[in-house]
Amino acid sequence: MIRAGTLTWFAQHETRLLWRDWAWLLSGGRRRRGVTVVVGLLVFVAFMHVFAYLTLARAPIAFPPDKALLVTLGGTLLLYWSLMLSQALEAVTRAFYARGDLDLILSSSASAERLFAVRIGAMALSIAGMSLALAAPAINILAWLHGARWLAAYGVVLALAMVAVAISLMLTIALFRTIGPKRTRLVAQIVAAVVGASFVIGVQIVAILTVGTMSRIVLFQSERIIRHAPNPDSLWWLPIDAVMGNGAALAVVLALGAIVFAGAIRFCAPRFGEFALAAGNVAVSRRSASRRALKFRPRSPGQALRGKEWVLLLRDPWLMSQSLMQLLYLLPPFFLLSRSFYGQGHSAALVVPVLIMAAGQLAGGLAWLAISGEDAPDLIASAPVAAHRVWLAKAEAVAAGVGVVFGPLVILFAIVDPMFAVIASIGVAMASAAAAAIQFWFRAQVKRSLFRRRHVSSRIATFAEALSSIAWASAGALATSSLCLAVVPGFMALAILTGAWMLSPKRA
Amino acid sequence: MTQNSSVPALKVRGLAKQFDRPAVDGLDLEVRAGEFYTLLGPNGAGKTTTLRMVTGLLRPDRGSIKVFGIDVSADPIAAKQVMAWLSDEPMIYDRLTPLEYLYFVAGLWGVDSNAAEIRARDLIAWLGLMPYAQERCEGLSKGTRQKVALAGALVHEPRLIILDEPFTGLDAASARLVKNVLRERVAEGCSVIMTTHILEVAERMADRIGVMADGRLVAEGTLEELQRQAGAGDASLEDTFLALVSTDTARGSIAA
């Protein structure tokens, strides 16, 4: 029997919560789905391994590694780490601001410091777990093809997760101290989105401006980068040596990760409660909407609904990081477009599917918020407005949101290539309409704050939305070379929509 | 507020709704124009289900509902136009201010924007919400949120206000304010239907009281009429209510 209030007791409690959180995330809270989820996961894992094999089977991997391999592995590792840091920043911010059990913990006689130390550890494990879910197939295939030494990469991922969580904690606390708890939530989310996307996007932009493609690998393999990279015996490559099975390097990387992490826990755990309380005060403090309130003057039910959706979207604190990430990914195509505009490239056609795909994703998110994330469904239902007018107003709000984001890009596109701009705008409209329709068919009333987990409410809707966007993007891509070819993915997109409609829950 | 007082504010006939068991079972109910009517009943009696059907939030299995003569099934928009619904869980948006919320509700009911502004500001002042008018609802207390929701229910000047447990979570001062607001509306000719578990509120405020049990109306009338029906002499409403409900439950048990 574990004694209550000890580190082990808290660890057991946190592990249970973490496990149930993951189980809920995978099953959507439905117990009967257990077998389906396990089968689905096994299929996914097998698919990822096949994909990793096809990607890595012919990769030129030599031992000891040359500079080209070191640069490629280093770039890939940095990319993973930037995503880990982004995830860690979001997790740390949530830990501070989500009330959950904080009131219970802070009001109890148990040592909150111990619990927070365990909670920080759980965050590192969670971040490492998420990163490994992506990296494990590649690591396993590398170990199978080139020797068990590659399994050391698991240790490096763990060390990187510890460093990411440590930096996130220090950064969040620094933000608390400099700009206060009120602004930290928003700024931390923006930083998380920028960090998560910056490396990927930065590399793509450099690749576009120098090589003219959006491929990251091309950039990592460019001679200029390799020439300027440190020599293979440099300490900079220590993490890569560790990934490739150098025991001493792995020990150093793990030790460094553990020291940084332990230091962060030692510094942050005693302060966690203090900052969580400050964050809690923000949640219950009065927030003024000042002058903007005076502009909100609906003259009709439609205007009222549209205006309300836009105001709520603009004020949604968690939507910011989600949408910002999607918008940041539009920067590379924007640069590609600028290059085409100045006559330095001929890759404008590449932009079409990216725009369509991004529009589908954004519209899906906005539609979910407007339809399923309605916080006062009874108020809307009891209003003297026909249901179809309510849905129409919500669809218009979503369409306007998509238009505001993609309109300027399409206009810029029209200057470069009017035909491609027409194709892009049709694709954006179709992908957005399809995503919104799927969200409408699979609507389920939930709290708006569950936006991050919106995919859990219906896996079918999630897959249908993604597949539909991919199909419309493919149709757009093919339409840039031949309109006839675009018919096939266009029909596929319509078939996906029909399938989604047929599988959607029957409405009363 | 002008209305034909001969037309009942609400007329329900043979209303029924079944979930896994009958929630409302052939209910007949009539509320007069300008009347304050309170529905009482134990948990699960079907009060909220009834009111949700009246407001168009639930579709009845059978039966008819007329609001000021307008058939709710045949012309739901016209019926909703004259009604307001307020539940015990305030239906407000955390990220709107009370003033924005009132403008939004007024917009939904198609109130002219100038009139909406005057009414919204009046209600904000009347309900003591002025200090919070420009602050987002997320930081407001439960009682203040309930007052914002009540203001939302009044901003379009409904002829029939339907309230489900409106005093839940309100402190004494707020509860008194809400009671006063409702009394004033009734004095102006508005009809109010309210469910409550606070019998003292029903006793003091209601013109007539309906007692529901097992989805049916088991007794109806003024307090004196209910006392007579229960054979409870001049007992309190609490004793009368318990006598009526236990009698009906006993009858139900015998019938079963």
DSSP assignment of A324-374: HHHHHTTHHHHHHHHHHHTTS---HHHHHHHHHHHHHHHHHHHHHHHHTT-
pLDDT at A291: 47
Does A313 lie in the same domain as A280? no
CA dihedral in degrees (A398, A326, A495, A461; nearest 10)? -80
Say what the pTM is. Answer: 0.69
How many CB atoms sit inside 10 A of residue A436's CB? 25
In chain B, the residue whose alpha carbon lies closest to the alpha carbon of A385 is B77
Question: How many structural domains comprise chain A?
Answer: 2
Query: Does ipTM exceed 0.90?
Result: no
Strands (DSSP E) found in A27-148:
none
Q: Rounded to whole angstroms, what are the CA distances from A56 to A61, A103, A130, B81, B94? A: 9, 49, 21, 66, 50
Cross-chain Cβ contact B135/A375 below 8 Å: no
Report yes or no on A463 lying in a domain. yes
Does A492 lie in the same domain as A376? yes
Bridge partner residues of B39 (DSSP): B195, B210
Does A452 lie in the same domain as A418? yes
Does A353 lie in the same domain as A257? no
Does A263 lie in the same domain as A327? no
Convert A173-201 to b/e letters by CB count within 10 Å (16 or more is b): bebbeeeebeebbeebbebbbbbbbbbbb
List the domain range (segments joined by +) for residue A398. 305-503
pLDDT at A189: 75
Contacts of A315 in chain B (CB under 8 A): 95, 136
With 50 as the cut, is the pLDDT of residue B255 above it? Answer: no
pLDDT at B33: 92
Q: Is A133 on the interface with B (CB under 8 A)?
A: no
Cross-chain Cβ contact A382/B94 below 8 Å: no
Does A320 lie in the same domain as A279? no
Report yes or no on A267 lying in a domain. yes
Q: Supply angle C-alpha B48, B52, B55, rounded to 5.
A: 140
DSSP state letters, B189-248: T-EEEEE-S-HHHHHHH-SEEEEEETTEEEEEE-HHHHHHHHT-TT--HHHHHHHHHHHH
Q: Is A295 on the interface with B (CB under 8 A)?
A: no
Question: For residues A504 and A441, what is the distance between their CA atoms, to the nearest angstrom?
Answer: 6
Report yes or no on A232 lying in a domain. yes
Cross-chain Cβ contact A289/B135 below 8 Å: yes
Q: Rounded to whole angstroms, what are the CA distances from A392 to A314, A334, A432, A440? A: 20, 31, 14, 11
Question: For residues A281 and A180, what is the distance between their CA atoms, to the nearest angstrom?
Answer: 11
* Nearest-CA distance B95 → chain A (Å): 6
Residues B215-237, mean pLDDT to the nearest whole number: 81
Does A280 lie in the same domain as A340? no
Does A317 lie in the same domain as A273? no
Does A367 lie in the same domain as A253? no
Does A188 lie in the same domain as A131? yes
Question: For residues B167 and A268, what is the distance between their CA atoms, to the nearest angstrom?
Answer: 44
Cross-chain Cβ contact B106/A298 below 8 Å: yes
Mean pLDDT, contiguous 10-residue spans, chain A (508 residues): 73 78 66 70 85 80 77 83 85 74 68 80 85 86 88 92 91 84 75 72 64 58 72 83 89 94 88 72 53 61 87 75 66 62 58 86 88 86 89 90 89 85 93 93 78 68 87 88 85 90 69
Q: Which two tokens stand for residue B2?
A: 């002008």
Does A383 lie in the same domain as A441? yes
* Nearest-CA distance A284 → chain B (Å): 4
CB A410 within 8 A of CB A354: no
* Nearest-CA distance A377 → chain B (Å): 8
Does A332 lie in the same domain as A208? no
CB B165 within 8 A of CB B51: no
How many CB atoms sit inside 10 A of residue B41's CB? 25
pLDDT at B2: 43
Report yes or no on A297 lying in a domain. no
Cross-chain Cβ contact A296/B103 below 8 Å: yes
Which pairs with CB-CB distance under 8 Å and at least 24 residues apart come from A4-12?
A: A4/A110, A5/A110, A5/A111, A5/A114, A6/A114, A7/A114, A7/A117, A7/A118, A10/A110, A10/A114, A10/A115, A10/A118, A11/A118, A11/A121
Q: Is A307 on the interface with B (CB under 8 A)?
A: yes
Nearest-by-Cβ selection for A378 from B87, B110, B140 = B87
- Coil, strand or helix at A442: coil
Query: Model confidence over B178-204: pLDDT tens digits?
Result: 888 899 999 998 999 999 888 888 888
Q: Is A384 on the interface with B (CB under 8 A)?
A: yes
pLDDT at A313: 82
Read off the pLDDT band of B112 (50, 70, 90): confident
pLDDT at A27: 65
> A284, A317, A338 — which closes off a domain?
A284
> A254, A284, A314 — which closes off a domain?
A284
